[in-house]
Structure 1
Amino acid sequence: MTRDGGPRTTGPGRRLRRHAVRGTLSALAAVVVATPFVGAWSYDGARRAVSPQAEPPVVETDGASGGIVKAGAGAPVVLAYHDISPDPTNDYTLTPRQLDAQLAALAAAGYRSLTTAEFTRYLTTGASPAPRTVYLTFDDGTRGLWAHADRVLAKHRMHAASFLITGAVGTHRPYYLSWAEIDRMKSSGRWDFQDHTHLSHERAAVDAAGHQGSVLSNRLWLPKEKRLETENEYRLRVRGDLDESLRAFSGHRLPAPRLFAYPFSETAGPTNLAARNTSVLERLLRERFTASLTNVSSRPLPAGPRAAAARQVERLEVLRTMSTDAFVKRLNERICRSPAEIPEPMRNPEQWQFPGSPSGTGLTALTGTGAAQGTYVSAVHLPMGTADWNTYRVTATVGRLSGTGTSASIEVGHGSLHPVSVTVSEAGLRVTERPAGGTARVTTGRLTPAARHRLTLEVSPGGVRVTVDGGHAMVARATEDPDPARTSGGVSLAVRDETARTAAWPRFTALRLAP
């Protein structure tokens, strides 16, 4: 008997069993030895895989191109896409028909797409490649770019940039691109490739409570040590990720990326970095890239001198829920205009935005009956399309001023690092300068009492000359740093009524812009 109580095998049967055991062990050994090679073959196969391409859809033009502004200025609009699929499962994935309709509208309106080299040349030199241009960007590096977007680009003779998460290439197939597909896209001449981190496009715990944050812009919670990363640990981790991504570009014979797209566009999001070191990530990026791209910014940063100085460009993110008409509307808000192209902006209510005002507020709140509730209404005129204005004249007429409880304001250099606002009441004038990082400076004056005043603001990089009723004049923002990138920006308006009247608010009866 054996130790476990079973029958003892002898003679030929025992030899057969021994041979069977040896055979099983040999097979297991072969599996163990072969497993890494099978895994490597499978991984290499995924890296080398090339998906079939779909033909572009046949889409009849719907006339949307007729609504796209054909402005004379040359600053490009930057568009941010993600994935393309005929069966989208989220709002970040457009169908090929949607992409085709948008590119068709752009092409019909005379727009052409830029390469990354052309776009970065514009940012660094200010030399516009041509009027009416767009820079098409696709984040994450998904397979849909090869399978569906590439043929649509070819149909419209356009170029695009794919921002790669280099550590994800060839993984989670068929979601991400393979390196073989990237090589074919590069060879087509329709694509170039830029950076979207190596493996830092994710969220993780950033405190003991487990709250999630971008791993790129936060120190991570280390559960074993029960503490946050130190700032030096954070710096080393992020530097290592960025450099690993650059090595992946070099290792696959791709040109070094010039641009970086923030994961989740969390440039304006919360961070647990110490206030004095919130720019550590910015410094790491500036050491490696010409500029970074984001879809969310703390101030308007369209492609242009202001964005070039900040080395950060804000894009228009295109979602599946955006109709072609909505796409055209959002695009027009981004297209750079000159003061000569919009001399009477109040004739175009669609060009105004109302941040911080009651829901449903429209331009009539500043030109007619006022708002239904509250005591203050403000409006910004094309904050993206006018961000790089630095030399222009604003002339306005304000009426219905009564006492000290009502006033109207004009701000020039909106969104700049040194905006200036001019406020008039029935008998008073106040000029306020707000230099970034400095203390606001306020200058006041007395006016001849009147319910109506006429204001002229002459704006230049070095200062703003304010004239009221043709006689009272002062100069604001006389600065030692007249860099247009610091002082450029367009116009915003505001009216205030603290008298609790339901009608007859202060109003702008005229507003003109000129070069």
Structure 2
Amino acid sequence: MALKIEQRDPHVVVVHDHGNGPEPCFRSDYAHKTGHDHSRGRGLGWGRGWTQWPVRVLLGALTLSVVLASGAAGLERYLSRKYMSPQAPLSHASITAADRVDWTRQGVGLPDHAPPVVLTFHDVNKKSTSPYALTPQSFDRQLTALETAGYRTLSAKQFTNYMNGGPTPRRSVLLTFDDGTDGLWKFADRILAKHHMRGTIFLITGSMDKHRPYYLTWREIERMHGSGRWDFQSHTRAMHSVKQVDATGNTGAPLVNRLWLADEGRRETPAEYRARVLHDLAGSVKDIVGHGMPAPTMFAVPFSDGPGRQDADSTDSQARHLLKELFPLVMTDHSSVPLTASRRSASAGLVQRVEVMAKTTPDEMLTDVGQKVQVPADVRGPLSETENWGGRQTRTGFGVFVGKAPKSPQTPRYAKADYRPDSSVDWTGYGATVVIGSLGNGTNQAALGVRTNSKEPMTVVVTRNRAILLANGYKVATQPLDPRSEHTVTVKVGSDTTTAYIDGQVKLSHVSDQPSDQLTGGVTIRSGINRAGNQWPVFKGLDISPLKDTRGRE
């Protein structure tokens, strides 16, 4: 009997996977077989049955996260390239053994503990020709000189701690950098790290992220802050410029001048000036805090070596009053009164800095810094230290005080010199004694001053036959003297009392009503003649020593 084979249309045969791999399936029983897939456990793998949608959602989410992460990484790389300049390789300056010997010598004799000296740098840049920009090698030499001379650096917090009445630190400096140039990230950061030093940058906050590549970016600033090497303070938001201040086109610094409103044909009113300045200053604080840094407590005056500086450092100017509303300490490179960091400068809220320019050598910088380190009021024979006498000497040279006056008819008739005016700012509780000779027939005079550059400097003027005590230039006491060509003057300086003795007998005294923290200061000598060709008085044997009774009272 022949086998009968049922013929089926090949078009009704399909290949289908029921979970055990591909197998032939006839359309007529396809629905029947697939209907039993679930009952045989088929179709329960990944992506089938009730699990398919959660699994697909999960896979989709994973795919999306990969895409987003990749996109975020790409965006971060783009932003980093745009807002993070690559740092230059670390620069090493050429320093000889003779350099180190000289720099070590310049630190000898200075106090181990003293108020810090504040230095101003502007930019560190390899190619700049600006007189304000140091090359990386020059910057390395400056820091090496400071380190070799025994100076350490302070953070902004350590500096303000001292200025707020904290203990006197070891011999130290505060390194400040004005403006916030990109060279500080590219070049200075690694040099600072090499020396284990700290820096404080005064930012023009409105210029950050702009005017690339001259200024820093906020990304660079945040990275620098995170290193622990840098602190950031205010240099205004957008007032580091000059603007028109009157109808004739004259310009000035916006911080210290009422601006000309061209559209209205007038100057700002005092109220408008105040509102504009406070808005800018508050904006600079907001910018710094908004990028995760502490609120600034210090401010550096724009153009402290340029337009408007006479107003910026004036204790009575409106700008200073506005600054005090936001910043306890104001920094300037030029001041009408020497006020290096000290208790008196803290009370005044103004600190004078030492500016370091491209042409400044390490030796010049150390000499300037050394002149501003506060020293004790205990000096024997300061008349021999001609290099330590500053102030106005009226073109005569120091020899005029010690019997070496020029004989020329053009010689001025008045001379003045201050002993270490920058490093005697906090002197009080001391006595000064000097012998003044060659007083002649009354046609010349000499003076010993104390409390130099304070709120009320005191001066004892002697002639052949009279002594006068001046407080801030006004006569407060006078006594006749036995006519002599030579007198010995002793002045005792207390917290608020100044007492003078002439020849151990005549006594003149004055009690000040000014705040005692604004009465400190050092020693000044003055000399004058009434007619050209007269004999100049001669100063002999000046000594300065601390008092046992610091009140200066008898």
Normalising to structure 2: TM-score of the pair? 0.79
Q: Which residue is 1:468 aligned to?
A: 502
Task: Map 1:272-351 to 2 at 5 A.
Answer: 279-340=317-378, 342-351=379-388
- Cα deviations by residue, 1:239-285 (Å, 9 ceiling, x for unpaired): 1111111111122111111111110116973559xx9x964322322
Deviations 1:141-162 (A, max 9, x none): 0011111111111111110101
1:80 to 109, 116, 120: 120
Deviations 1:363-389 (A, max 9, x none): 211112224411111111111100110
Output aligned runs, 1:131-280, within 5 Å: 131-265=170-304, 269-270=309-310, 279-280=317-318
Structure 1 residue aligned with 2:389: 352
Residue 541 of structure 2 corresponds to: 510
- Give the residue type in structure 2 aligned to 1:226: G
SS of the counterpart of 2:448? strand
Q: Quick one: distance in 2 between partners of 1:513 and 1:207?
A: 51
Give, in angstroms, the shift of residue 469 of structure 1: 0.7
1:410 aligns with 2:448: yes
RMSD: 2.3
Distance in 1, Cα, partners of 2:509 & 2:82: 63
Superimposed CA distance per residue, residues 374-411 of structure 1 (whole angstroms, 9 cap, x where no aligned partner)? 11111111111001101111010111001222011111
The 1:299/1:146 distance shift into structure 2, 3 A limit, reads same
Of the three residues 482, 487, 492, the one matched with 2:524 is: 492
Q: CA deviation at 1:59?
A: 2.8
The 1-side partners of 2:403 and 2:189 are apart by 50
Equivalent residue number for residue 375 of structure 1 = 413
Report Cα offsets for 1:441-461 as digits up to 9, x if no partner: 332211111111111001011
Q: 1:423 to 1:87 in 2, by over 3 A?
A: same
Q: Distance in 1 between matches of 2:201 and 2:264?
A: 38
Displacement of 1:356: 5.3
Task: Give the Cα–Cα distance (whole angstroms) in 2 for the partners of residues 250 and 59 of structure 1.
Answer: 40
Taking only the aligned residue pairs, the percentage that are identical comes to 36
Corresponding residue pairs, total:
462
After superposition, give the CA deviation of every residue in 1:206-264 in whole Å (9 maximum; x if it has no partner): 11111111011110011111110011111111111111111111221111111111101
Q: Which amino acid aligns with 2:384?
A: R
Larger Rg: 2
- Cα deviation for residue 180 of structure 1 reads 1.4
1:454 maps to a residue whose letter is T
- Return the offset for 1:71: 1.9
SS at match of 1:490: coil
In 2, the alpha carbon distance for the partners of 1:270 and 1:104 equals: 34
Cα gap change, 1:58 to 1:297, in 2 (>3 Å)? closer
Asked whether the equivalents of residues 163 and 195 of structure 1 are also in contact (C-alpha less than 8 Å), the reply is yes
User: Are the equivalent residues in 1 in contact too, given 2:93–2:138 (CA < 8 A)?
Assistant: no
Alignment partners' CA distance in 1, 2:279 and 2:344: 30
Instruction: Indicate how the Cα distance of structure 1 residues 282 and 369 shifts in structure 2: closer, same or farther if over 3 A, else same.
Output: same
Which segment drifts farther, 153-162 or 257-266?
257-266
Q: How far 1:131 sits from its partner (Å)?
A: 2.5
Structure 1 residue 499: Cα displacement: 3.2
- Three-state SS of the structure 2 residue aligned to 1:321 is coil
Q: What does residue 399 of structure 2 align with? A: 364
CA distance in 2, matches of 1:47, 1:385: 46
Instruction: Find the aligned partners of 1:207 and 1:77 in 2 and give their Cα distance.
Output: 38
The residue correspondences of 1:23-62 to structure 2 (distance < 5 A) are 48-61=83-96, 62=99
Helix, strand or coil: the match of 1:379? strand
Unaligned runs of 5+ in 2: 1-74, 547-554
Which of 155, 159, 164 is the aligned partner of 1:124?
164
> Partner letter of residue 511 of structure 1?
L
The Cα shift of 1:420 comes to: 0.4
Q: CA deviation at 1:510?
A: 1.4
Q: CA 1:278 to 1:484, structure 2 compared with 1: closer, same or farther past 3 Å?
A: closer
Higher RCO (C-alpha 8 Å, min separation 6): 1
| 8 Å contact kept, 2:311–2:319 | no
Aligned to 1:455: 489
| Structure 2: distance between partners of 1:236 and 1:242 | 10
Q: In the TM superposition, what is the alpha-carbon distance from 1:64 to its structure 2 partner?
A: 3.4
**Matched AA of 1:184:** R
Deviation at 1:74, TM superposition (A): 1.6
Distance in 1 (alpha carbons) for counterparts of 2:81 and 2:526? 58
Distance 1:73 1:411, change over 3 A: farther
Query: Which amino acid counterpart does residue 413 of structure 2 have in structure 1?
Result: T
- Partner-residue secondary structure (3-state), 1:125: coil
Displacement of 1:55: 0.6
Which amino acid letter does the alignment assign opposite residue 536 of structure 2? W
Structure 1 residues 169-227: Cα deviation after superposition (integer angstroms, max 9, x where no partner): 11111110111111121121111111100011111111111111101111001111111
For residue 45 of structure 1, report the CA deviation from its aligned partner.
Answer: 6.7
1:139: Cα distance to partner?
Answer: 0.3
What is the alpha-carbon distance in structure 2 between the residues aligned to residue 105 and residue 85 of structure 1?
Answer: 19
Q: Match for 1:227: what amino acid? A: R
Does residue 422 in structure 1 map to residue 460 in structure 2? yes
Distance in 2 between residues matched to 1:166 and 1:67, nearest whole Å: 38
Q: Which one-letter code corresponds to 2:455 in the other structure?
A: L
Measured at CA, do residues 42 and 175 of structure 1 come closer, stay the same or move farther in structure 2, by a change above 3 Å?
farther
Task: Give the TM-score normalised by the residue count of structure 1.
Answer: 0.85
| Aligned AA (1:400) | S
Say which SS state the counterpart of residue 422 (structure 1) adopts. Answer: strand
| In structure 1, C-alpha distance between the alignment counterparts of 2:308 and 2:376, rounded to whole Å | 28
